[in-house]
C-alpha cells in the first residue's frame, strides 16, 4: 500500500515538474516576443523621507502584461530572463528608461528625485557594467548621484572580492549602491564593512508583522542600529500601515516605501501623485 501511494506521489511530482517546465518554456517564448515588440513598461513607486514626509525618489519596477497570460510578475519572469540571457538587454533598457525618466522629471522642474534600479546578479557580473552605466548616465545628462543600484546580498556575496572591485568602480563614478531585501541573505558583516554601499533596504518580510511580532521588531531594530554604526542609511519596503510607520520612526529608519503611500505607478500617474503632494505626506 505504501509502495503504491509512493508511486502515485512520484507521478504527481513528475506531472508538476512537467507543468512547471512547460510554463517556463511558454514564458521564454512570450518574453522574447514581448521584448521585441516593446511590451514591457516601468512603474515607479514613491520613496518617502521619514523626517520631512517628502517624496525623494522612486523605485523602478518592470511590468509585463501579456495579451493571453495577463499580468506576469517580475518575480516569475526575471529568473526566466536571467536563464536565457535576455536580462542583459532587458536590464540595459530598464536602466536607460529609468535614467531618461529622471531627466524628464528634472526638465519638468520637479524637486530632484533619485531612481532606484534593481540589478540582476547576471548584470552585476558583467565586466563592462560600470562603463555601461556611465554611458547611460551621460546620455541622460543627469548627476550620477541620482541613480541608486539595488543589489541583493547573493549578488554581492557569491564572489565578495569581485563584488568589492565592481562596487568600488561604481562608487567612484558617484553612483549609490544599496542592498535590497536586506536580512534575507547571508551577508557577512566583515564584507559589509568593505562594500561601498550607501543604504540598506530592510526586507518586507520583517516589516509585515512589525506592529505585532516582537521578534521582527528586534530584527529591524538590530538592522537599523548596525546601519547607523556603519554610517549607512536605511529604507523599509512593504510598509502598508500607520502602525508600521510609527515603529520605523521610533527605531530611526530614514525612508519608507510601500502601499501605505502608493503602489508602483506608471510615470504619468507618478507625476500626478507628486503634484497632489504639494503638502508633505503624513510621515
Ligand atoms: P524588490 O526589488 O524587492 O521590489 C519590491 C516588491 O515589493 C515589488 O514587487 C513591489 O511592487 C512590492 N511592494 C512594494 N510595496 C509593497 C507593499 O506595501 N506591500 C507588498 N505586499 N508589496 C509591496 P514586484 O514589482 O512584483 O517585483 C518583484 C521583484 O522582481 C522585485 O523585488 C525585484 O527583485 C524584481 N524586479 C522587478 N523589476 C526588476 C527589474 O527591472 N530588474 C530586475 N533585475 N529585477 C526586477
Ligand atoms: Mg528592489
Ligand atoms: Mg526588495
Ligand atoms: Mg524582493
User: What is the residue with the minimal CA distance to atom 2 of ligand 1?
Assistant: 118
Residue 111: the pLDDT is: 87
Residue 217: the pLDDT is: 93
Ligand 1, CB within 6 Å, residue ranges: 45, 61-62, 73-75, 78, 94, 118, 120, 150, 180-181, 204, 237-240, 258-259, 264
Residue 4: the pLDDT is: 56
- Concatenated DSSP letters of 35-96: HHTT-EEEEEEEEEETTT--EEEEEEEEEEEETTTEEE-HHHHHHHHHHHSHHHHHHHHHHH
The alpha carbon of 37 and the centre of ligand 3 are apart by a number of angstroms equal to 28
pLDDT tens for residues 141-197? 999 999 999 999 888 888 889 999 999 999 999 999 999 999 998 777 888 889 999
- Name residues with Cβ closer than 5 Å to ligand 2, which is an ion: 118, 150, 180
The alpha carbon of 240 and the centre of ligand 1 are apart by a number of angstroms equal to 14
Query: Average per-residue pLDDT in the chain?
Result: 92
pLDDT tens for residues 137-152? 999 999 999 999 999 9
Does pLDDT of 6 surpass 80? no
For the question of an ipTM over 0.85, the answer is yes
Q: What is the C-alpha to C-alpha distance for residues 222 and 252, in angstroms, rounded to an integer?
A: 11
Does pLDDT of 60 surpass 80? yes
Q: Which atom of ligand 1 is nearest to the CA of 264?
A: 11
The alpha carbon of 5 and the centre of ligand 2 are apart by a number of angstroms equal to 43
Q: Which atom of ligand 1 is nearest to the CA of 42?
A: 41
DSSP label of 209:
T
pLDDT tens for residues 95-136? 999 999 999 999 999 988 999 999 999 999 999 999 999 999
Using a 10 angstrom Cβ sphere, with 0-12 exposed, 13-18 middle and 19 or more buried, the burial of residue 114 is middle
Amino acid at each position: 500500500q505504501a509502495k503504491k501511494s509512493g508511486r502515485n506521489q512520484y507521478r504527481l511530482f513528475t506531472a508538476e515538474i512537467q507543468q512547471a517546465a512547460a510554463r517556463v518554456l511558454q514564458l521564454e517564448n512570450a518574453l522574447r516576443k514581448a521584448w521585441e515588440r516593446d511590451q514591457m513598461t516601468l512603474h515607479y513607486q514613491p520613496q518617502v523621507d521619514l523626517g520631512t514626509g517628502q517624496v525623494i525618489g522612486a523605485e523602478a519596477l518592470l511590468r509585463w502584461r501579456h495579451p493571453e497570460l495577463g499580468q506576469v510578475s517580475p518575480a516569475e519572469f526575471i529568473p526566466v530572463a536571467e536563464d536565457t540571457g535576455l536580462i542583459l538587454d532587458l536590464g540595459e533598457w530598464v536602466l536607460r528608461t529609468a535614467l531618461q525618466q529622471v531627466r524628464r522629471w528634472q526638465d519638468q522642474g520637479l524637486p530632484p528625485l533619485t531612481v532606484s534600479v534593481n540589478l540582476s546578479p547576471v548584470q552585476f557580473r558583467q565586466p563592462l557594467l560600470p562603463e555601461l552605466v556611465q554611458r547611460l548616465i551621460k546620455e541622460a545628462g543627469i548627476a550620477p548621484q541620482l541613480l541608486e543600484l539595488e543589489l541583493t546580498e547573493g549578488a554581492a556575496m557569491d564572489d565578495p572580492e569581485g563584488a568589492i572591485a565592481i562596487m568600488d568602480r561604481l562608487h567612484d563614478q558617484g553612483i549609490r549602491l544599496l542592498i535590497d531585501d536586506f536580512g534575507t541573505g547571508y551577508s557577512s558583516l566583515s564584507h559589509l564593512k568593505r562594500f561601498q554601499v550607501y543604504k540598506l533596504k530592510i526586507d518586507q518580510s520583517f516589516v509585515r508583522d512589525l506592529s505585532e511580532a516582537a521578534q521582527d521588531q528586534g530584527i529591524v531594530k538590530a538592522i537599523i542600529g548596525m546601519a547607523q554604526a556603519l554610517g549607512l542609511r536605511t529604507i523599509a519596503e512593504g510598509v502598508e500601515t500607520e502602525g508600521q510607520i510609527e515603529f520605523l520612526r521610533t527605531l530611526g529608519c530614514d525612508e519608507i516605501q510601500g502601499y501605505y503611500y502608493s503602489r508602483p505607478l506608471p510615470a504619468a500617474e507618478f507625476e500626478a501623485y507628486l503634484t497632489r503632494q504639494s503638502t508633505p505626506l503624513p510621515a
